[in-house]
Amino acid sequence: MRYKYKLSFSALMINSFLVQGANAIESRNGELTTVEHVQEGEKLQKGLALVLSPFSSNIVIGDGSVEIVENGATSRGSTIERGGIQIVTRGGNAIEAKIRGGKQFVHEEEGLDLTDVERKSSAFNSTVFGDEVEVGQQNVYDGAWAWYTKVGNGGEQNLYAAKRKEGGRAIATEVSGNGRQHVLALGESYGTILSGNATQVVYPNGFVDSLTVNSAAKSWFHVDMQDVIGEVRVNGGGELYLFAGDRTNHTTKKKISLEGRADEVIFEVGKRDINHKPQIKIEDLGGQDGTVIFSSILYDPRHISLYVERLSGNLHFRFNISATGAASDYLSIGDGTGNHRISVTDSGAEITGLLSQKNSFVSEFPLVTDKSQDGGANFTLEDRSGREITTVDGGTYQYRLWKRERCAGSSGNAAIWYLGRVSRDMERSNTEVRCMNKKTKVPLELSAGSGLQSDRGVSSGRKNTSSRKSISKQSAKPRPPRHLRKAQNVSNVSISPSQEHRVAEVSGSSDFHHFSDAQQQGVFLADVSLTSDQMILRPVHKSQRSLRLSDTLSVSQFLTTPSTDAVLSLSVAPAMVFHNEIQTARMGRGILAKSKKNAALWTYAIKSKESIATEHIDFKLDQTGLVVGINGLSEWANGEFYIGGFSSYDRVRIAHARGGTSGINTYGIGAYITYLDYSGWYLDGILKYNHYQNTLKAVSTNGLGIEGSYTQWAVGSSIEAGYRIKMSKSSWLQPYGQFTWLQVEGKEIKLSNEMTGDLRPFTSLRSEVGLSLGYEFGSRMASSSFAYITAAWLRENKDNNHALINRRHSFTSDLSGNAGKLGVGLSSLVGEKLKFYGEAHYVKGRKIKQSFQGVVGVRYSF
pLDDT-derived band at 257, boundaries 50, 70, 90: confident
132-154 per-position pLDDT tens digit? 899 999 999 999 999 999 999 99
CA atoms of 802 and 746, how far apart (whole Å):
10
DSSP one-letter code for 317: E
Say if residue 584's pLDDT is above 50.
yes
Chain center to CA of 452: 27
pLDDT-derived band at 424, boundaries 50, 70, 90: low
Q: Backbone phi, then psi, for 458, in 5-degree steps?
A: -75, 160
Of these ranges, 8-12, 106-110, 334-338, the one predicted with the greatest mean pLDDT is 334-338
Does an H or E element contain 443, and which? none
Structural domain ending residue among the three candidates 206, 226, 246? 226
Say if residue 497's pLDDT is above 50.
no
Closest CA to 820 of 764, 774, 763, 769: 769
CATH number of the domain within which 729 lies? 2.40.128.130
Say if residue 354's pLDDT is above 50.
no
In a domain, 423, yes or no: no
Say if residue 530's pLDDT is above 50.
no
Residue 382 · residue 343 · CB < 8 Å: yes
Q: What's the average model confidence in pLDDT over 3-28?
A: 38
Q: Of 139-148, 472-481, 682-691, which range is least confident? A: 472-481
What's residue 432's pLDDT?
56
613-660 per-position pLDDT tens digit? 988 899 999 999 999 999 888 888 788 888 999 999 999 999 999 999
Helix (H/G/I), strand (E/B), else coil: 587: helix
In a domain, 383, yes or no: no
CA atoms of 361 and 334, how far apart (whole Å):
31
Structural domain ending residue among the three candidates 226, 253, 272? 226
pLDDT-derived band at 251, boundaries 50, 70, 90: confident
What's residue 115's pLDDT?
62
CA atoms of 768 and 721, how far apart (whole Å):
11
In a domain, 110, yes or no: yes
Q: What's the average model confidence in pLDDT over 696-710?
A: 95
Q: Of 112-116, 132-136, 435-439, 697-701, which range is least confident? A: 435-439
Say if residue 689's pLDDT is above 70.
yes
CB burial of 552-573 (b: ≥16 within 10 Å; e: otherwise) equals: ebebbbbbbbbbbbbbbbbbbb
CB burial of 395-420 (b: ≥16 within 10 Å; e: otherwise) equals: bbbbbbbbbbbbbbeeeebbbbbbbb
CA atoms of 773 and 46, how far apart (whole Å):
105
Structural domain ending residue among the three candidates 195, 226, 257? 226
pLDDT-derived band at 600, boundaries 50, 70, 90: confident
806-820 per-position pLDDT tens digit? 998 999 999 999 999
Integer angstrom CA distances of residue 717 from 68, 583, 604, 714 = 92, 11, 20, 10
In a domain, 324, yes or no: no
Q: Backbone phi, then psi, for 431, in 5-degree steps?
A: -90, 0
Say if residue 300's pLDDT is above 90.
no
In a domain, 443, yes or no: no
pLDDT-derived band at 776, boundaries 50, 70, 90: confident
What's residue 107's pLDDT?
96
Question: ω into residue 54 within 30 of 0, thus cis?
Answer: yes
Does an H or E element contain 579, and which? helix 562-589
In a domain, 350, yes or no: no
Does an H or E element contain 16, and which? helix 11-20
**Which residues, 6 or more positions from 216, have their beta carbon under 8 angstroms from its beta carbon?**
196, 197, 237, 238, 239
Other Cβ atoms within 10 Å of 165 Cβ, number: 9
**Strand intervals (E) in 518-616:** 524-528, 535-539, 600-614
pLDDT-derived band at 854, boundaries 50, 70, 90: very high
At position 747, the amino acid (one-letter code) is K
pLDDT-derived band at 307, boundaries 50, 70, 90: very high
Q: Which residue has the higher pLDDT, 552 or 554?
A: 554
Q: Of 172-181, 211-220, 696-705, 822-831, which range is least confident? A: 822-831
Q: Backbone phi, then psi, for 732, in 5-degree steps?
A: -150, 165
Percent of the chain residues past pLDDT 90, beyond the cut: 55
Say if residue 579's pLDDT is above 80.
yes
In a domain, 526, yes or no: no
Mean predicted lDDT score pLDDT of the chain: 80
Helix (H/G/I), strand (E/B), else coil: 568: helix
CA atoms of 95 and 100, how far apart (whole Å):
15
In a domain, 854, yes or no: no
What's residue 426's pLDDT?
56
Say if residue 103's pLDDT is above 90.
yes
**3-state SS of 58-122?**
CCEECCCCEEEECCCCEEECCEEECCCEEEECCCCEEECCEEEECEEEEECCCCCCCCCCCCCCE
Q: Give strand pairing partners of 320.
A: none
CA atoms of 366 and 416, how far apart (whole Å):
7
Q: Of 326-340, 399-413, 707-721, which range is least confident? A: 399-413
pLDDT-derived band at 383, boundaries 50, 70, 90: confident
What's residue 348's pLDDT?
92
Closest CA to 453 of 428, 484, 473: 428
Closest CA to 792 of 497, 570, 583: 583
Q: Sign of the CA dihedral 354, 562, 397, 705?
A: positive
Phi-psi region of 289 (alpha: psi -120 to 50; beta: other; left: phi over 0): left
pTM, two decimal places: 0.76
Chain center to CA of 477: 19
pLDDT-derived band at 114, boundaries 50, 70, 90: low
What's residue 634's pLDDT?
83
CA atoms of 331 and 578, how far apart (whole Å):
52
Structural domain for 23, as ranges = 1-226
Does an H or E element contain 563, and which? helix 562-589
Q: Which residue has the higher pLDDT, 410 or 20?
A: 410
**Which residues, 6 or more positions from 376, have their beta carbon under 8 angstroms from its beta carbon?**
333, 336, 337, 370, 415
Structural domains counted in the chain = 2
Say if residue 713's pLDDT is above 90.
yes
Q: What's the average model confidence in pLDDT over 258-285?
A: 84
